[in-house]
Chains A and B, each alone.
Chain A
Amino acid sequence: MAEAIVTVEGLRVRYALADEPALEGVRLEVEPGEFCGVTGPHGAGKSTLAYALMGLLPHVMRADVEGRVRVAGRDPIAEGAARLAGDVALCLQNPYNQISGARDTVYDEIAFGLENLGLPPDEIRARVDEALARFGLEAVAEENPFACSGGQVQRLAIASAWVMRPRVLILDEPTSQLDPHGAREVEAAVEAARRQGMAVIVIEHRAEWLAARADRLLVLRAGRPVAAGPARRLYGAAELQEEDLPRPVYTRVARRVAELGAELGGGGTEPWPLTEDEAVGQLRPVVSRRAAGSAGDARSAGTAGAAGGADDAAAARPGRAATAGAAPAGSPSLLIDDVHFAYEPGRPVIRGISTEIRGPGVTALIGRNGGGKSTLLRLLLGLVRPDRGRVVVDGLDTARATVAQVARRLAMAFQNPDDQLFLGTVLDEAMYGAKNIGRPPEAARASAVAALEALGLAGMAGRHPYDLGFGLRKLVTVAAAVAMETPILVLDEPTMAQDEPSLRRLAALVRRLAESGRHVLLVTHHMEFAAQVAERVLVLSGGRILADGAPEDVFRREDVLAAAGVEAPAALRLARRLGLAASPVTPEGLCSAIMGS
């Protein structure tokens, strides 16, 4: 066994002014070249661990720190971050905040750390050129960092850290603020960094990435270690809850299929599948056995399976019945009638959109960034008015209304929570919009408390939003929009930076809102979430609606998805690889389809 490059024993951290320790009893060993995942729900102390390893505690952030920490042969708690530079590197969540601001091109930004090390100019140039190539940044070398995409900037941050040749690289939720395309870019960058023999510690919620890449995992909950060890063993450990360690879709489907009595490929001797390839390997035998078993009426069975899969998925969602019939009087309605819009003449952003939402339910709006989604949302909010056509929100034409009037009918949680949070407590934030649109303070408070509770934030009502992590701040703004109790609710990327328990609470809340007569419009890159809660999917690309229909129908259309730059949900991709005739979009639907095949 190689010598560990990171050793943590009995780490305990309590921030100044805090009553409870943020971290207690943490043990960790990481070897050179290893990918160590750190995961667990919000408030688990994951970031605190990163700060401790980087030497920010107590040198930059005031805290009591106990325990033994060794990173790359250094003692971060005694030495502090400034002296660790070059041996240890940390990249935080928000890519743009990682840019030093000291230099105005990508090239010079990467060189900045090397200038601080006092290296000779020739060596700096050689190292920067190597970093540009390794992280795929040559094309933007002369661009201003702030003009780059989120994925590029996060890669730039990693490249700028990597170029210092640290032996340990720590990444705190590096993909949580990126779209799937940007996330994949960062995943590739991490692999590139790791090939050099660097130990990489990644704090992450997304099971798919950790399951596919991590050698080792540390699972934390509320500041305490829940489990630690080789990733494959932990993903297979039945006693570990999904809330603490969410499993990838592939693992969940295989497990469910086995529970339903099917014998997986490998005869049950292989560990649970962690990647799409492994899942295909283990599930294909099930599918072929089932198909062979019912060879006599394969045709009709296949058809039944397809229908069954779709029906099961639909049955899991609410609102379908309500939208199928005529909308009851007074129920939410949104009419977008031949809307055109351009910020500058001759450069249209919205090119003739017509659609209607009637009655309660959940609609997902998907499509790549730059496809017109944000502009469409601004039109719905009445922040801009259509050049042609009308937007009618619950009977109110936005062209003849003030933004405040529209706000009484349609509330929205914006993508970046930090664009709106400013009050001293979570509760004040949650009731602010409700009070502004004229609801009595007591009613506003009651709705805010209920919304916070539904999202698991009840215990944090008195905290300062900025003392919470990004994911929790995001939930606060969702709660604030929900508390406005408008007929229509728009949530822009609500799943961003969320842990497994919050994803479940969000899904349950969205469903319940639809059942109680409201319509939720979900703007998301998270296709699994969309497939799970929405009964209708709108695909927006190039300022037009490319597709509109049930998730099963829309996600099946590969041409549409490709044009809009989105991927089908993992369940559907797996079904395709398994050669199933059905088009299930949720893990449940996929299980039924496999068992029915």
Chain B
Amino acid sequence: MRAPSLYVPGRSFVHRADPLTKAAWAFSTALAGFIVPDWRATAALLVLNLTLLGLAGALRRTARLILASAVLVATFFVAQGLSHPSNAEPLFRVFGLTFYREGLLVAWVLALRLWNTIAAIGVLVFTVRPQDLVTALLMRGLSPRAGYALVSIIQVLPTLSASVATILDAQRSRGVETEGGLRVRLRALLPMLAPLIMSALAAAQDRAVALEVRGFSRPGPRTILRPVRDMAGAAFWRAVGLGVLVAAVLWRALGG
């Protein structure tokens, strides 16, 4: 198996923007979507982020993530439509349950915020390789040890996933039942997971040795062989991102 990834390769304007600028934009607009007091502002942010994703050629992937959130969105409409305290005006009845206009409007706002979160952070994750994001953070003083812990998952996870199938084979061949009642399946959990975890921990011990051999714990400055450069006008664009957030907070505090 390959490591999970949301990265969509490309050369668009959004791709060329540097990771930290996009991170500032993504988290600012995602948060602003929750803070602005008018749902139309959230919708505007959503449209803006979807436009950026369209430029990056990642709309289809975004749609897939938004679809994957359908259950969460459905619970908004059911739970708030039936039970929000502001409910007053019945809209329709299904299976003897009354849905109210006010609650459904609350659910609509929640859904917009969720979708805006996905789209905003999508601007970052669809267009940045996690390695580059970590490199950018390392250049801003992130500890190399923390950077390693994050970026090595990309390499470690596929090796673990790959051994799952072999472990399943080996344990079934030793008479471990993996199908049947809940109790049988629960009992299969340990023979499946424990070999995986033990060998992964033993590998981590080995890897710690390999890291020491490569000077991982040496004090002193590191070289970054493949630096990530800030885009032209990075400071301006980061200010724009933060400005959106500040504006949202001010709007909420003063008006809304």
Contact = CB atoms under 8 A, between A and B. Distances in A.
Direct contact of A and B (CB under 8 A): yes
A98 interface: yes
Interface in A60-84: 60, 81-83
Given A115-B222, A118-B223, A419 B166 contact: yes
Interface stretch (A27-35, A410-418, A539-547): A410-418
Contacts of B215: 82, 85-86, 113, 116-117, 164
Contacts of A119: 223
Given A104-B155, A381-B173, A54 B203 contact: no
B194 A97 contact: no
Interface in A94-112: 94, 96-102, 104, 108, 111-112
A420 interface: yes
A91 B212 CA distance: 11
A90 interface: yes
Contacts of A91: 210, 213
B223 A420 contact: no
B209 A146 contact: no
Given A94-B206, A100-B211, A418-B202, A378 B169 contact: yes
Interface residues of A, number: 68
Interface stretch (B21-29, B71-79, B101-109, B156-164): B156-164
A124 B213 contact: no
B229 to A, nearest CB: 14
B217 A82 contact: yes
B69 interface: no
Given A115-B225, A116-B214, A117-B215, A403 B206 contact: no
Contacts of B175: 404, 407-408, 433, 436-438
A67 to B, nearest CB: 21
B214 A466 contact: no
Chain B at the A interface: SS class: helix
B167 interface: yes
A111 B225 contact: yes
B170 A420 contact: yes
A81 to B, nearest CB: 4
A381 B169 contact: yes
A26 to B, nearest CB: 20
Interface in A430-485: 432-433, 436-438, 466, 480, 484
Interface in A276-301: none
A25 interface: no
Interface in B205-256: 206-218, 220-226
Interface centre among B167, B211, B222, B225, by most chain A C-beta atoms within 10 angstroms, is: B225
B11 interface: no
14 contacts: A60-B209, A82-B218, A91-B210, A100-B207, A101-B152, A114-B223, A116-B222, A124-B223, A157-B210, A161-B214, A418-B199, A436-B175, A436-B176, A480-B174
Q: Please provide the 6 A-B residue pairs with the shortest distance between their CB atoms, ordered closest to farther.
A: A436-B175, A113-B214, A422-B194, A101-B152, A97-B206, A82-B217
Given A97-B207, A101-B207, A432-B174, 14 more contacts: A54-B212, A86-B215, A98-B207, A100-B211, A101-B152, A115-B225, A124-B225, A164-B214, A383-B172, A411-B173, A412-B173, A419-B195, A420-B170, A421-B199
